[in-house]
A and B are shown apart, each in its own frame.
Chain A
Amino acid sequence: MKRAFEFLIERAIFLSGIASIIFVVLIFFFLLKEGLALFQTESLTGFLFGKNWYPISDPPRFGILPLFLGSLLVTLGAIVIAVPLGLASAIYVAEVAPPKLRDILKSGIELLAAFPSIVLGFIGIVTLAPFLKSVFHLSSGLTALAGSIMLAFMAMPTIVSIIEDAIVSVPKNYREGSLALGATHWQTIYRVVLPAASSGILAAVMLGIGRVIGETMAVLMITGNAAVLPTSILQPVRTLTATIAAEMGEAVSGSEHYYALFAIGIVLFIISFVINLLADLFLHRKAAR
């Protein structure tokens, strides 16, 4: 009786263990099957490098270059904003802030991570977009820059907490060695602590990018949603993720448009996969030390 019970438990655990793997594999194949179907009618280069995304015109055009560049622009903008800011606040939290303030700041950062991105996007539309519009004298504030700023906010918690961890785990004896040579606290930070934490910092940046690239709702709301080749960060753009979210509802199942959206999904999957792989490499290099 007892034996049978244990047998059942073991099986149940085993099944739930492999279930996640099975699901991932199924999703992956589904994505591949639906996405690759596009290439029966559309060429790969036309898809990747085509300058026009007109999915419902006649004939339809499925060039994702504008979307890809839109994603790239918004992401790069977000990284340019989030990394220096995140690095600075991680240094402040880890090295400078008095212990009590440190705890408050850390919970504040966690709280920021807890905001649903749709809420941030919504706040962005009503505050950030009008602000950008008046500062830069634009016809609309819904631009790539607005998306970058929103995404920077979303990436910050990840970036700050991973960098902070990396800084705190730098061995104490490096600091002591540096201070004992007459270096100041600040010199110690940037000459020894940051280089020692560098792989953690790179991993933080990678994971921050991962978070930003996969983000959909906020950018859908705030980037202005124009699938044109971007020339400036003050222009409306459309990202890969936002395109899927915006068009999936209207694409007829089994149509070319539908397949094209899945093909975009494959592109996103590859990008995220590579970024996660890189982040993992950096983190492991650190662990190996």
Chain B
Amino acid sequence: MIIKTNKLNLWYGAFQALIDVDLAIERNRITALIGPSGCGKSTLLRVFNRMNDLIEGVRMSGSVNFEGKEILDHEIDLITLRKRIGMVFQRPNPFPLSVFENVVYGLRVHGEKNKQVLAEAAEKSLSAVLLFDELKDKLSMNALGLSLEQQQRLCIARLLSVTPEVLLMDEPCSALDPFATMKIEELMIELKKQYTIVIVTHNMQQAARISDDCGYLLLGELVEFADTKKIFTTPADKRTEDYITGRFG
């Protein structure tokens, strides 16, 4: 297990968005977080790389352990944490820079200057997301000119270049068409050999297709967390069953 939360609570001001969440994320697996809109999926995901810090008035209690380190610790080095736990966003958000500069962005901000190293890392990361052959002659074009699917792949490549251990993905396919979605799903299954993936999705079929573990969140509570097969065939909680059978949400 790579990340483990214990009685995790989170408040936005007076509103409690996460309530006593206990979950354990296993290495080299895809963990899906599902649940109706506003139940706290994104919030939970953003705890792991402390992106909620950007929002004013957020308080947290409990503990989140990552490889023996306490993520909620005020002293923790956010730069290292975010290097090890990367994030892919709902809307592809390549920077308005060239494809190449996008991919090596993380390396650059972490001080890498050697051209050779940067070029190799760019090739490796773009290859990992199956974009290298497509784009190897277009590395200097503006990334905003790519298709949405390519942009999302590029965002994943951008992440891989800093060699993270965990990939957090917040509805990474919701801006994509079904075909592009399928391609990205194939990519995720490929990536889990090397990385641990946590994905938030609205799409239950997607969770069923690609995840190994699955957690169902409702109103800030983790109602059930188990093997994906079990969640989708024999859920332990009535509320989970209602949700996956479509009687709710």
Total interface residues on A, using CB and 8 Å?
Answer: 18
Interface contact A182-B82, CB-CB below 8 Å: yes
Besides A182-B78, A182-B82, A192-B96, 7 more A-B contacts (Cβ < 8 Å) are A174-B95, A177-B155, A180-B89, A181-B109, A182-B83, A182-B110, A184-B79
Q: Which residues of B in the span 50-106 have a Cβ within 8 Å of any Cβ on A?
A: 51, 54, 78-83, 86-87, 89, 91, 93-97, 105-106
Interface contact B93-A191, CB-CB below 8 Å: no
Contact with A along B25-55 (1 / 0, CB 8 A): 0000000000000000000000001010010
Interface contact B87-A180, CB-CB below 8 Å: yes
Interface contact A177-B89, CB-CB below 8 Å: yes
Whether a CB of chain B sits under 8 angstroms from the CB of A179 is: yes
Whether a CB of chain A sits under 8 angstroms from the CB of B144 is: yes
Total interface residues on B, using CB and 8 Å?
Answer: 28
Q: Which residues of B contact A174 (CB under 8 A)?
A: 93, 95-96
Expressed in whole angstroms, the minimum distance between the Cβ of B110 and any Cβ of chain A is: 6
Q: Which of A173, A180, A184 contacts B49 (CB 8 A)?
A: A180
Whether a CB of chain B sits under 8 angstroms from the CB of A196 is: yes
Interface contact A187-B96, CB-CB below 8 Å: no
Q: Which residues of A contact B96 (CB under 8 A)?
A: 174, 192, 195-196, 289
Expressed in whole angstroms, the minimum distance between the Cβ of B50 and any Cβ of chain A is: 10
Nearest residue (CB) in B for A171 is B93
Interface contact B86-A181, CB-CB below 8 Å: yes
Contact with A along B123-134 (1 / 0, CB 8 A): 000000000000
Contact with A along B141-178 (1 / 0, CB 8 A): 00010000000000100110010000000000000000
Q: Which of B54, B91, B105, B144 contacts A181 (CB 8 A)?
A: B105
Q: Which residues of B contact A195 (CB under 8 A)?
A: 95-97
Expressed in whole angstroms, the minimum distance between the Cβ of B122 and any Cβ of chain A is: 14
CA distance A187 to B95 in the complex (A): 13
Expressed in whole angstroms, the minimum distance between the Cβ of B44 and any Cβ of chain A is: 15
Interface contact B105-A191, CB-CB below 8 Å: yes
Whether a CB of chain B sits under 8 angstroms from the CB of A252 is: no
Whether a CB of chain B sits under 8 angstroms from the CB of A176 is: yes
- In this complex, the member of A177, A180, A191, A192 whose beta carbon has the largest number of chain B beta carbons within 10 angstroms is A180
Q: Which of B79, B108, B159 contacts A191 (CB 8 A)?
A: B108
Nearest residue (CB) in B for A184 is B79
Interface contact A176-B162, CB-CB below 8 Å: no
CA distance A192 to B97 in the complex (A): 8
Interface contact A180-B51, CB-CB below 8 Å: yes
Interface contact B89-A181, CB-CB below 8 Å: no
CA distance A147 to B67 in the complex (A): 62
Q: Can you give 25 A-B contacts (C-beta < 8 A)?
A: A171-B93, A173-B89, A176-B54, A176-B89, A176-B93, A177-B158, A178-B105, A180-B49, A180-B89, A181-B82, A181-B83, A181-B86, A181-B109, A181-B158, A181-B162, A182-B82, A182-B109, A183-B106, A183-B109, A184-B79, A187-B109, A192-B95, A192-B96, A195-B96, A196-B96
